[in-house]
């Protein structure tokens, strides 16, 4: 019988949070976050909106709603872009 590997999900969540916050930190000033709907739940598991606000996120929009507020100078997109339609949607904004 193969040994059973232990996975620490908290370590994975901590790394995902650090990576996302580091990316947000690299965009100076206030910013809007445009996120794929399918990622909203998983992202919400490891980072709270209040934490995103501390890193300059002003508002969050869903990519699929096509309602991005472009008046904000900085816009950060978070998407898997596995489908050509998603990548084209981001490129067209």
Q: What is the CATH number of domain 10-16+24-91?
A: 3.40.50.2060
> Could you tell me if 56 and 24 are in contact, meaning their C-beta atoms sit under 8 angstroms apart?
yes
Q: What is the pLDDT of residues 25-82, one digit of tens each?
A: 999 999 999 998 889 999 999 999 999 999 999 999 998 787 777 777 899 988 876 7
Domain-by-domain residue ranges, the chain? 10-16+24-91
- Quote the Cα angle for 30-34-36, to 5°: 155
Q: What is the pLDDT of residues 70-80, one digit of tens each?
A: 777 899 988 87
């Amino acid at each position: 019988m193969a040994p059973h590997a232990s996975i620490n999900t908290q370590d994975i969540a901590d790394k995902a949070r650090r990576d996302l916050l580091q990316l947000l930190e690299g965009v100076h000033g206030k910013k809007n976050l445009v996120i794929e709907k399918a990622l909203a739940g998983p992202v919400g598991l490891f980072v709270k909106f209040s934490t995103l606000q501390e890193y300059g996120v002003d508002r969050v929009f869903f990519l699929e709603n096509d309602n991005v507020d472009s008046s904000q100078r900085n816009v950060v997109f978070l998407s898997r872009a596995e489908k050509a339609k998603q990548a084209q949607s981001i490129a067209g904004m």
